[in-house]
Chains A and B, each alone.
Chain A
């Protein structure tokens, strides 16, 4: 038996390059069926798996990005609040200082007023007392002088000893009279 590779079909073993129509049709139909099945059942699922996977990865990244953005926003906000608070504190401190100064000033003024008032009152009362003392003295001096003069006149005023005795006695009397 000789191999037949000729293009012409001969006898029982037809040339292998001459297609059998039935096999073309079978090949065509079989491939068509497989194509349909894979196209409708397998490929969409594989693509879905791809898509889900991409989304899972990308979604994670996006979520992380959003979280980071939120965190930096919060940071900015807190920093702003902190700056506000600092400004507020400084303002309060300034206000307190001003107020303190004002209070101090007010107190000093009122203290001075009080002091001058007390001084004035004291001076007035001293004046009054002195006036009173003066008045009392005036009235008493007159009487005393009169008294002393009468004594001097009553006694003999010839010698020094006597004179001084008279004066001393007068003063002693005055002491006693008190």
Chain B
């Protein structure tokens, strides 16, 4: 759709947020846009892979089981056991699903044909963040009781009284607004920016290719850069999935801790 716009204009049109909008594939329903279908596809892929790889649960793992198990073990031990502590096992399924879900949806950004990181639509990160948000508040309230939890947030112990004037609003804001906001915004913005960056070089290369002989030659560099950046993006996609999960684990650990 971008191509058509540009040809009509007869000049280079830089990619914009409009490139992130997809018309429904069929009908008018928003449920049949590319990103929505990709999110469901990610569920199918992730669930199939991990159910298939864990099905046998053999002592000596097959290659498939080993692949699934390495990812699971990584989340279980690095993010669960090491961050949350003794009660970690309760949260492992959640952290594991979180990481896998975000990872698959992010990596869609560099998979040929799909080539769109679904998390660059802010609605999806928000949908996942709701889980984290509810989870760490619920855990804290269940563990300490609502009253003590609020008291701990508002009045951090061991601090001179006048400081509460500043600290209490900041803490409240952190727990109730900033955390979920940054959690979803960070993921969304990274994916959005990364995809936009790739678009710039791909569309730029395409534009150069359509132009004069000399510019055609230059398009090689543009495409080359796009390919290089795709690998860079792959790294960022994995990193963002990790960060999201790590922060959720840290929030849960904080909720379980006796002192805030």
Q: Interface on A for B, CB 8 Å cutoff?
A: 1-5, 12-35, 37-39, 41-43, 45-46, 48-49, 52-53, 56
Alpha-carbon separation in the docked complex, A45 to B93 (Å): 12
**Which partner residue on chain B sits nearest A35 by CB separation?**
B97
Alpha-carbon separation in the docked complex, A53 to B59 (Å): 5
Contacts of A23 in B (CB 8 A): 30, 35-36, 121-124, 127
Contacts of A18 in B (CB 8 A): 122
Assess A31 versus B131: contact at CB under 8 Å? Given A1-B16, A23-B36.
yes
- Contact A38 B96, beta carbon cutoff 8 Å: yes
Alpha-carbon separation in the docked complex, A135 to B192 (Å): 161
- Contact B127 A35, beta carbon cutoff 8 Å: no
The reply to whether the CB of B175 lies closer than 8 angstroms to some CB of chain A is: no
Q: Interface on B for A, CB 8 Å cutoff?
A: 5, 9, 13-18, 20-21, 30-31, 35-36, 39-40, 42-43, 46-47, 50-51, 53-59, 61, 65, 68-69, 72-73, 76, 92-94, 96-98, 100-101, 120-128, 130-131, 185, 188, 192
- Contact B68 A22, beta carbon cutoff 8 Å: no
Given contacts A31-B131, A46-B68, 12 further A-B contacts (CB under 8 A): A21-B123, A23-B35, A23-B124, A28-B127, A28-B130, A31-B98, A38-B46, A39-B93, A42-B47, A45-B54, A46-B69, A49-B57
Minimum CB–CB distance for B81 against chain A, Å: 12
- Contact A26 B36, beta carbon cutoff 8 Å: yes
**Which partner residue on chain B sits nearest A28 by CB separation?**
B127
- Contact B42 A43, beta carbon cutoff 8 Å: no
- Contact A52 B57, beta carbon cutoff 8 Å: yes
Residue contacts A-B, CB under 8 angstroms, 30 given: A3-B16, A4-B18, A5-B17, A12-B21, A13-B16, A13-B18, A16-B188, A17-B122, A19-B122, A22-B30, A23-B123, A26-B36, A26-B39, A27-B126, A27-B128, A30-B39, A30-B40, A31-B128, A34-B46, A34-B100, A35-B93, A37-B43, A39-B97, A42-B54, A42-B68, A45-B54, A45-B57, A48-B57, A49-B54, A52-B59
Contacts of A52 in B (CB 8 A): 57, 59
Contacts of A21 in B (CB 8 A): 123
Contacts of B68 in A (CB 8 A): 42, 46
Contacts of B59 in A (CB 8 A): 49, 52-53, 56
Most buried by B among A3, A17, A42: A42
